[in-house]
C-alpha cells in the first residue's frame, strides 16, 4: 500500500510541474549530435532544427553574423500567445538564412510564433521559386492567433518577401504584427496577404517597414505583380510609418498594375503616416502610391506623402466582380508630381460598378501639386475615370497643375459633388467635365451646379495657393488665399474631419474656419517636429536620445552642453534625414562634459536646416553627482542599461569597462545573447527576439537586471 501511495505521488508530481521552456543555439561551429541548449553545445545546421520538436516558449537562436544554408520549416511546431515559439539570432548581428531557390521560413497551419532579427536571402527573383517568410493556413474553420515578424530583412524571392495568407473559407490569422522589416529585390511583392473569404484575418499591424526594388514578374500576365505592401481579407488592419519605393516596373498584367501601399477586400483598414514614391508599372495601369481597392469598406487613407510615382498618388478602384465597396475616406494627404505615366491622375477614382460600385466616399483636405511629366503625357490633378459610384464627395482639396495639364478631368458628372476646393493653373485653368472643357471657375459653377451649396452659396476658389516647392508638406504661406477659405465639415455637413492634419495640427472645431488643403495651421510648420528629447546618466557618460515625427530640409543636429546653462559648447554632430514624414530616432553619448562636471550639466540640440537656419530644442538637465564603483581605490564605470525596462525591438545601451564581454542570461542562467564593450566604454545590446521577462546582464564582475516588457 505504501508503494502505491509513493507511486501516486510521483505521478502527480510529474504531471503538476510545468515543463520549462528551453533555448536552442545554432552555430557553424556546432554539432548536430549535441544537446543544443547552450552556445557551447550548439547545433550546426537548419536540418537539425527542422527535425526537432519544440514546446511553447522555446527559442531557437542562430549565431549572429553567420550564414546558414537551407530553409526553415516549422512543421507542426507552434507556441501560444503567452508562450510563443521564437526563431531569432544571438549576438550583436542578425544571422543569415541563405535558402537558395527554396523558401526562407515556412509555417503551415501553425501560430504562436515570433520570427525576429534574421536576414533571409533567396537566390534572386528570377531564379527562386518560393516566398521568403510565409505562414499559410488551410485547415477548415480555423482562426490561428499570434504572429510576430520583427526586424527581418528578406530579399531575392520570386513570390514575395513576407506573406501571411489563408485559403479555406473563413480560416485565417489574428493578432499579426509585422514591424521593422525590409522586403526588397523580390518578384511579386514585398509584404502581402490574401484569403478566400472576406475578413478571414483579424487585427493586424504593419509598422516601420521598408519595401523597395520589388520589380514584378514579367511572365505573369493574369494579375498584378511588383507591389510594395498589399493586404487583403483582413478585418481591422493598421499600416503606418512605412515606406515603399521603386517597385513594380516589370509588371506585365495588361488589366492592372501594382501599387506601393494598398489593400483590397478589407474592412476597417487604415493606412497612415507612410511615404510611397518612385513606384511604376510595366503596363498602362496603376503603378501609384496608395490605393483602397475592390471590396474595401470603412477604410481610410490619411497623413500620407506620395510623390514621383508613375500612377496615381491616391486611388479608389472597384474591380470587376468585386464585393461591395463603401464608406471610404481619403484625407489630409499630399501628392507631389504623381501620375508620371499613361495620362493618369494624382487623385483617381475608377469603378466597374460591381456590387453597387463605390458607395459613400469622401475625399477632403488633400494637397496636389503636379508638373508636366518628362514623357509628354497629360495627367490630371483629379481624375474621375468612370461611372459606377454614388455619393462621391470631394471637398477642401488644393488641386494645382502647371503647363497645359488639366486640373479636373471627370467622365461622370452624376452622384459627384465638388465643394470648397482650390483649382489653379497659372497658364490656363482646365476643368474637363463630361466632355466639355471650362476655363474658369464661375462658368463651370453656373453650368454644372458644382462648387455651390444647397442654399446657393458659392464655394471654392481659383487662385494661386502659394505653396513653396521647397517644403514637402506643400504648406501654404501665411497670406495664402486658401487660409480659412475651406468648408467647416463639422458645422456644414456634420462630418468629422478626424483629429489632426497632415503635420499634426488639430482640425478645426465647430466655430473655426477650415483651410483648403492638407495643412490647417495658419503659420508655416516647423522644419523639424521633435516629439521626444531625454538625457540620462549612463556610467561615465550621458546618453541623449531624441525622436522626430517629421523633418523638412534637416541638414544636421549639433549637440551642445553647458555647466551653467548659459554658455554652451559644441559636443558633436549627427546628420539629419533631410526631408521625411517618417519618424526617426537619434542617440548621442557624451563622454566628455559629463565626465568632468561636478554638478549639473545642461544639454540642448541645435537643429540646422539646409539653408543654415537654426532652431533650438528645449534644455535637458542632468545631475552628474552619482557615485561610481571603485576597485583598489580606482573609479570604475558602473554597469548601466538604458532603456530599462526595454521593448523587444529596442537597442539597449550598455556602459561598462572597455573590452569587457557583456553577457545576457535568462533566469535559468542560460546565455541568450552577448557583445563586447567598445574602447569608448559603450556597447549596444540587441534584445530583439528576447521574450518578455527578467534577464541578468553581466559585464566583468558587475551585474544588472534587465526587464523586457
What does the pLDDT look like over 339-365, one tens digit per residue? 999 999 999 999 999 999 999 999 999
Name the residue with cell 471650362.
438
- Whole-angstrom distance, CA of residue 324 vs CA of residue 633: 77
Q: Pairing state of beta strands 422-424 and 528-538?
A: unpaired
pLDDT in the model for residue 656: 62
Average pLDDT over residues 321-331: 97
Among the listed ranges 263-272, 303-312, 666-675, which one has the minimum average pLDDT value?
Answer: 666-675
Does 663 share its domain with 594?
A: no
Q: Among the three residues 623, 656, 677, which one is the final residue of a domain in this structure?
A: 623
Query: How is the chain split among helix, strand and coil, in percent rounded to 5?
Result: 5, 45, 50
Q: What was the pLDDT predicted at 655?
A: 59
| Grid cell for residue 58 | 522555446
User: Of 464-468, 582-586, 596-600, which range is least confident?
Assistant: 596-600
Show the domain range for 699. 641-708
Residue 672 lies in a domain: yes
Confirm whether 54 is domain-assigned.
no
Which SS3 state, helix, strand or coil, does residue 106 take? strand
Average pLDDT over residues 388-409: 97
Q: How many CB atoms lie within 10 A of CB 295?
A: 24
Q: How many helices (H) and strands (E) does the chain have?
A: 5, 55
- Over range 388-412, report the average pLDDT: 96
pLDDT attached to residue 544: 87
Q: What percent of the chain has pLDDT over 70?
A: 88
State the average pLDDT over residues 367-381: 95
416-436 pLDDT per residue, tens: 999 999 999 999 999 999 999
| Tens of pLDDT, residues 49-99 | 999 999 999 999 999 999 999 999 999 999 999 999 999 999 889 999 999
pLDDT at residue number 16: 40
CATH number at residue 583: 2.60.40.2060
Q: Which of 429, 524, 507 is nearest to 468 (CA)?
A: 524
> What Å distances lie between residue 182 and 121, 176, 246, 700, CA to CA?
12, 17, 14, 36
Instruction: Tell me if 152 is assigned to some domain.
Output: no
Reference 288, options 335, 252, 223, 353; nearest CA is: 335
Instruction: Evaluate whether 709 touches 673 at the Cβ level (below 8 Å).
Output: no
Most distant pair of Cα atoms in the chain: their distance: 105
The pLDDT-based confidence of 4 (bands split at 50, 70, 90) is very low
Helix (H) or strand (E) holding 408: strand 406-410
Provide the whole-model pTM.
0.80
Kind of pairing between the strands at 72-73 and 105-108: parallel
Summarised one tens digit per residue, pLDDT across range 632-662 is 433 444 566 656 677 654 555 565 667 777 8
Looking at the structure, do residues 607 and 690 belong to the same domain, yes or no? no
Q: Tell me the three cell numbers of residue 65.
A: 553574423
- Cα separation, 143 vs 145, in Å, equals 7
In the listed set 623, 658, 679, which residue is the last one of a domain according to the structure?
623
Q: Pairing relation of β-strands 227-232 and 314-318?
A: unpaired
Tell which of 596, 623, 650 closes a domain. Answer: 623
Within this chain, do residues 680 and 609 fall inside the same structural domain, yes or no? Answer: no
Residue among 486, 469, 471 at smallest CA distance from 520: 486
In a shared domain, residues 571 and 655: no
| Residue 586 included in any domain | yes
Model confidence band, residue 553 (pLDDT cutoffs 50, 70, 90): confident
Confidence at 46, pLDDT banded by 50, 70, 90: very high
Phi first, then psi: what are they for 561, rounded to 5°? -135, 160
Q: How far does the chain reach from its first CA to its final CA, in angstroms? A: 50
The whole-chain average pLDDT of the chain stands at: 88
Cβ-based burial of 333 (10 A; exposed 0-12, middle 13-18, buried ≥19): buried
The CA-CA-CA angle for residues 481, 486, 489, to 5°, reads 170
Highest mean pLDDT among 3-7, 70-74, 462-466: 70-74
Q: What pLDDT is attached to residue 689?
A: 67
Residue 612 sits in the same domain as residue 666? no
User: Do 647 and 614 sit in the same domain of this protein?
Assistant: no
Q: How many CA atoms lie within 13 A of 503 on its CB side?
A: 26
Determine, yes or no, domain membership for 391.
Answer: no
pLDDT at 77: 97
Cα within 13 Å of Cα(96), Cβ side:
11
Together in a domain, 612 and 647: no
Task: State the Cα angle at 518 between 513 and 522, rounded to 5°.
Answer: 45
What is the pLDDT, as a whole number, of residue 472?
A: 66
Closest by Cα among 110, 172, 177 to 143: 172
Tell me whether residue 612 is in a domain.
yes
The Cα–Cα gap between 229 and 224 comes to 13
Q: What is the pLDDT of residue 578?
A: 85
pLDDT in tens, 516-543: 999 997 665 667 878 778 887 766 778 8
List the 693-699 sheet strands across, edge first.
Answer: 671-676, 661-665, 693-699, 702-708
Indicate the number of domains in the chain: 2
The Cβ of residue 604 has, within 10 Å, a number of other Cβ atoms equal to: 19
Average pLDDT (13-17) is 41
Mean pLDDT in residue range 172-199: 97
Strand partners, 335: 306, 368
Beta carbons within 8 Å of 378's beta carbon, 6+ residues apart: 343, 372, 404, 405, 406
Query: Would you say 105 and 133 are in contact if contact means Cβ atoms under 8 Å apart?
Result: yes
Q: Are residues 557 and 619 part of one domain?
A: yes
573 and 653 together in one domain: no
Same domain, 546 and 574: yes
Cell of 505: 495640427
- 30 domain residue, yes or no: no
Question: What CATH code is carried by the domain that includes residue 658?
Answer: 2.60.40.10
Strand partners, 542: 537, 590
Among residues 584, 601, 583, which one has the least CA distance to residue 592? 601
Give the confidence band of 8 by pLDDT, cuts at 50, 70, 90. Answer: very low
How far is residue 390's CA from residue 378's CA, in Å, rounded to a whole number?
Answer: 27
3-class DSSP assignment, residue 337:
coil
Q: Residue 484 has which C-alpha cell?
A: 480659412
DSSP letters along 600-646, please?
A: EEEEEEEEEETT--EEEPPPEEEE-----EEETTEEEPPPEEESSSB
Spatial CA neighbour of 23 closest among 38, 34, 44: 38
Number of Cβ atoms within 10 Å of the Cβ of 53: 8
> Does 43 fall in a domain?
no
Q: What is the pLDDT of residue 114?
A: 97
Amino acid at each position: 500500500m505504501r508503494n502505491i501511495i509513493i507511486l501516486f505521488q510521483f505521478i502527480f508530481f510529474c504531471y503538476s510541474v510545468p515543463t520549462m521552456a528551453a533555448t536552442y543555439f545554432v552555430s557553424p561551429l556546432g554539432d548536430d549530435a549535441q544537446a543544443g541548449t547552450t552556445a557551447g553545445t550548439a547545433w550546426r545546421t537548419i536540418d537539425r532544427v527542422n527535425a526537432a520538436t519544440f514546446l511553447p516558449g522555446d527559442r531557437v537562436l542562430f549565431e549572429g553574423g553567420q550564414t546558414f544554408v537551407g530553409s526553415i520549416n516549422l512543421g507542426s511546431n507552434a507556441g501560444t500567445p503567452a508562450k510563443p515559439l521564437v526563431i531569432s539570432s544571438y549576438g550583436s548581428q542578425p544571422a543569415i538564412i541563405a535558402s537558395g531557390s527554396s523558401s526562407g521560413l515556412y509555417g503551415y497551419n501553425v501560430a504562436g510564433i515570433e520570427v525576429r532579427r534574421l536576414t533571409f536571402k533567396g537566390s534572386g527573383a528570377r531564379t527562386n521559386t518560393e516566398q521568403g517568410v510565409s505562414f499559410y493556413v488551410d485547415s477548415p474553420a480555423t482562426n490561428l492567433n499570434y504572429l510576430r515578424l520583427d526586424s527581418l530583412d528578406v530579399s531575392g524571392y520570386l513570390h514575395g518577401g513576407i506573406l501571411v495568407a489563408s485559403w479555406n473559407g473563413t480560416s485565417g490569422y489574428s493578432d499579426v504584427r509585422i514591424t521593422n522589416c525590409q522586403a526588397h529585390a523580390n518578384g511579386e511583392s514585398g509584404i502581402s496577404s490574401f484569403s478566400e473569404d472576406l475578413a478571414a484575418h483579424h487585427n493586424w499591424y504593419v509598422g516601420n517597414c521598408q519595401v523597395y526594388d520589388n520589380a514584378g514578374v514579367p511572365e505573369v500576365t493574369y494579375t498584378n505583380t511588383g507591389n510594395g505592401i498589399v493586404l487583403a481579407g483582413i478585418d481591422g488592419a493598421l499600416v503606418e510609418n512605412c515606406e515603399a519605393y521603386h517597385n513594380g516596373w516589370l509588371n506585365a498584367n495588361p488589366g492592372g498594375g501594382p501599387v506601393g501601399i494598398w489593400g483590397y477586400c478589407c474592412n476597417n483598414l487604415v493606412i497612415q503616416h507612410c511615404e510611397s514614391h518612385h513606384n511604376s508599372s510595366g503596363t498602362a495601369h496603376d503603378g501609384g502610391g496608395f490605393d483602397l481597392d475592390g471590396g474595401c469598406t470603412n477604410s481610410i487613407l490619411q497623413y500620407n506623402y506620395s510623390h514621383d510615382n508613375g500612377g496615381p498618388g491616391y486611388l479608389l478602384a472597384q474591380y470587376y466582380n468585386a464585393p461591395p465597396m463603401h464608406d471610404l475616406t481619403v484625407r489630409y494627404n499630399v501628392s507631389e508630381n504623381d501620375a508620371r505615366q499613361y495620362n493618369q491622375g494624382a487623385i483617381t477614382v475608377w469603378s466597374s460598378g460591381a456590387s453597387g460600385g463605390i458607395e459613400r466616399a469622401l475625399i477632403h483636405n488633400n494637397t496636389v501639386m503636379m508638373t508636366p511629366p518628362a514623357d509628354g503625357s497629360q495627367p490630371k490633378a483629379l481624375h474621375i475615370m468612370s461611372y459606377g459610384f454614388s455619393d462621391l464627395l470631394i471637398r477642401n482639396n488644393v488641386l494645382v497643375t502647371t503647363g497645359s495639364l488639366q486640373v479636373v478631368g471627370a467622365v461622370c458628372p452624376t452622384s459627384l459633388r465638388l465643394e470648397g476646393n482650390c483649382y489653379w493653373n497659372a497658364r490656363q485653368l482646365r476643368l474637363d467635365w463630361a466632355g466639355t472643357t471650362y476655363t474658369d471657375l464661375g462658368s463651370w459653377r453656373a453650368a454644372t451646379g458644382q462648387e455651390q451649396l444647397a442654399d446657393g452659396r458659392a464655394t471654392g476658389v481659383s487662385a494661386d495657393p502659394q505653396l513653396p516647392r521647397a517644403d514637402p508638406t506643400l504648406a501654404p504661406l501665411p497670406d495664402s488665399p486658401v487660409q480659412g477659405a475651406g468648408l467647416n465639415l463639422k458645422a456644414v455637413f456634420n462630418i468629422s474631419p478626424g483629429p489632426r492634419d497632415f503635420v499634426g495640427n488639430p482640425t478645426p472645431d465647430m466655430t473655426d474656419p477650415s483651410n483648403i488643403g492638407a495643412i490647417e495651421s495658419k503659420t508655416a510648420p516647423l522644419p523639424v517636429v521633435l516629439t521626444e528629447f531625454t538625457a540620462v546618466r549612463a556610467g561615465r557618460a550621458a546618453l541623449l536620445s531624441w525622436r522626430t515625427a517629421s523633418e523638412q530640409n534637416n541638414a544636421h543636429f549639433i549637440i551642445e552642453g553647458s555647466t551653467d546653462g548659459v554658455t554652451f559648447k559644441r559636443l558633436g554632430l549627427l546628420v539629419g534625414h533631410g526631408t521625411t514624414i517618417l519618424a526617426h530616432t537619434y542617440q548621442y553619448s557624451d563622454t566628455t562634459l559629463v565626465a568632468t562636471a561636478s554638478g549639473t550639466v545642461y544639454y540642448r540640440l541645435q537643429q540646422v536646416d539646409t539653408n543654415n537656419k537654426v532652431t533650438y530644442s528645449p534644455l535637458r538637465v542632468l545631475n552628474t553627482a552619482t557615485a561610481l564603483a571603485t576597485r583598489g581605490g580606482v573609479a570604475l564605470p558602473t554597469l548601466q542599461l538604458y532603456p530599462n525596462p526595454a521593448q523587444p525591438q529596442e537597442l539597449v545601451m550598455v556602459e561598462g569597462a572597455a573590452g569587457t564581454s557583456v553577457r545576457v542570461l535568462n533566469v535559468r542562467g542560460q546565455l541568450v545573447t552577448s557583445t563586447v564593450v567598445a574602447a569608448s566604454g559603450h556597447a549596444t545590446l540587441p534584445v530583439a527576439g528576447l521574450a518578455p521577462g527578467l534577464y541578468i546582464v553581466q559585464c566583468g564582475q558587475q551585474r544588472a537586471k534587465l526587464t523586457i516588457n
